[in-house]
Chains A and B, each alone.
Chain A
Amino acid sequence: MNTNHLSAWEQEEYILDERTPQMLRHLSECAECRAAVARLEDGLGVYRKAAVEWSAESLAARPQQLLIARKQPLLSLRWAMAAIIPLVLLLIALLPFRASSPRPVQQAAQVRDDSRDDALLDQVDEQISAAVPSSMESLTHLVSTGDRATAKGSKHLVQNN
């Protein structure tokens, strides 16, 4: 019986497919080392099986089209931007033109309003410029140079009373 068993390192090297002829010869002769290597390989095999099954189970619960579904908003956003940007630019370009050329009907209405405003302002100006308000205008004609005697007589009448 061979007592020079494979070291832990050598067993790991065997698992990693780094196998030397001496290693293979020893394993063919030594049941103990064969069992140790097989045990480690079994453990790794069980781990792999469990990992693959768990992953497959988890993946099966998720729809395949997620990637495409996530891509679509990005693409549609680009198309939307491509459609909107020229429209915005066109509106910006048309805005000064529209402002500088109002419609004829609006223009005529504006002229009418302006003339009405002017007339009103003239009327107000005339009223403000008058020395006596229009309601008291008749009183300015009551006393004149020819009527002074009459005015004095009337004064005496008031004193006598």
Chain B
Amino acid sequence: MEALEQLNYPGELSPLRDRMIAELEDVNTLCATYRSRIYRYALLSLKDPDLAETVTQDCFLKAFKARKDFRGDCSIATWLTRIATNLIRDCTRSRKFQFWKTAGSTALEAGDIADRLRSPGISPENSLVVREELVKVWDAVDALPDKQRSVFVLRFVEEMELPEIATAMGLHVGTIKSHLHRGLAAVRKAMEKTR
């Protein structure tokens, strides 16, 4: 319940909030709408499909249980992302996760991801270049600290705005920007190695 305890948004109740709560009531529609997004975020943060699925399910269950506490100050997507962020953080702090991370058993090789990337209409030479570039970026993002990686994923994969990321992560916009600059610097540095 730690994730929910931190969901205190200032603001007033509104008809918009009631509409959002009505949306939260229909858990099946909610899952159908946001499941892929939350799962993707969890998967890129944890690099473990089973754990990502567990976090996704817990996220929806917690959201459903706490739907009355939702103040409507942000979008449902942002609210769900915040719950998922807290769940992911709890997960990464667990000793079990730390053990498997150290053992490297859950880590997916960047090469595997690059092999799966579909590039229709690209010549084999260009495809190879794209593959090499992806491996560099993927490894650079993987090497980022957990919080920086989460911010990076929310910005460049989920394409969220900076204030939304700040709400979802419980951080200031300035801190988010700082994390993003560091992440981009790491990616740039990795890409320069290919030259």
Report if A and B associate in a common complex.
Answer: yes
A contact set with B: CB distance below 8 Å: 8-9, 11-12, 15-16, 39-40, 42-44, 46-59, 62, 64, 66-68, 70-71
Which residues of chain A have C-beta atoms less than 8 A from B57's C-beta?
Answer: 66-67, 70
B114 touching A50 by the CB < 8 A rule? yes
Q: Which of B40, B60, B141 contacts A47 (CB 8 A)?
A: B141
- Known contacts A9-B181, A40-B184; A47/B137 CB under 8 A: yes
In the assembled complex, B25 has its CB within 8 A of some CB on chain A: no
Nearest CB of chain B from residue A71's CB, rounded to whole Å: 7
Q: Given the interface contacts A58-B49, A68-B28, does A15 sit within 8 Å of B184 by beta carbon?
A: yes
CB-CB contacts below 8 Å: B174-194 with A: 177, 180-181, 184-185, 187-188, 191
Q: Total interface residues on B, using CB and 8 Å?
A: 41
- Distance in angstroms from B15 CB to nearest chain A CB is 28
A59 partner, pick from B39, B130, B162, B177, beta carbons under 8 A: B39
- Whether B116 lies near A53 (C-beta < 8 A) is yes
Q: How far is the CA of A71 from the CA of B58 in the complex (A)?
A: 11
Q: Report the nearest A residue to B188, measured CB to CB.
A: A40
Q: Assess whether A16 is in contact with B177, with CB atoms less than 8 Å apart.
A: yes
Prevailing SS type, chain A contact patch: helix
Asked whether A47 and B43 contact (CB < 8 A) given A16-B177, A67-B57, the answer is no
Interface centre among A9, A46, A68 (most CB of B within 10 A): A46
Does A67 contact B31, Cβ atoms closer than 8 Å?
A: yes
In the complex, chain B residues whose CB is within 8 Å of the CB of A50: 113-114, 116-117, 134, 138
Closest approach, in angstroms, between the C-beta of B80 and any C-beta of chain A?
13
Q: Which chain B residue has the least Cβ–Cβ distance from A56?
A: B36
Decide yes or no whether B153 CB sits under 8 A from chain A.
Answer: yes
In the complex, 19 of the A-B residue pairs with CB atoms within 8 angstroms, ordered by the A residue number, are A12-B188, A15-B184, A40-B187, A43-B187, A44-B137, A46-B117, A46-B134, A49-B117, A50-B113, A51-B44, A52-B40, A54-B113, A55-B39, A58-B43, A58-B52, A59-B35, A62-B53, A64-B31, A67-B27
Contact among A42, A53, A59, A67 for B117, CB-based, below 8 A:
A53
Q: Which residues of A contact B22 (CB under 8 A)?
A: none
Please report the C-alpha to C-alpha distance between residue A16 and residue B113 in the assembled complex, in whole angstroms. Answer: 25
Report Cα–Cα, A53/B95, bound state, in Å.
30
Q: Which residues of B contact A44 (CB under 8 A)?
A: 137, 156, 187
CB distance from A56 to the nearest CB of B (A): 7
| A36 shortest CB reach to chain B, Å | 9
B53: which A residues are within 8 A, CB to CB? Answer: 62, 66
Instruction: Give the chain B neighbours of A68 by CB distance below 8 A.
Output: 28
Neighbouring A residues of B113 by C-beta, 8 Å: 50, 54
Within 8 Å of chain A (Cβ to Cβ): is B61? yes
From residue A10, how far is it (CB to closest CB) to chain B in Å?
Answer: 11
Bound form: Cα–Cα A66–B32 in Å: 12
Instruction: For B176, give the chain A residue with the smallest CB separation.
Output: A16
Is the Cβ of A8 less than 8 Å from the Cβ of B141? no
- Would you call B118 an interface residue if the criterion is a C-beta within 8 Å of the partner chain's C-beta atoms? yes
Chain B residue with Cβ nearest A42: B133
- B11-55 contacts to A, CB under 8 A, are 27-28, 31-32, 35-36, 39-40, 43-44, 49, 52-53
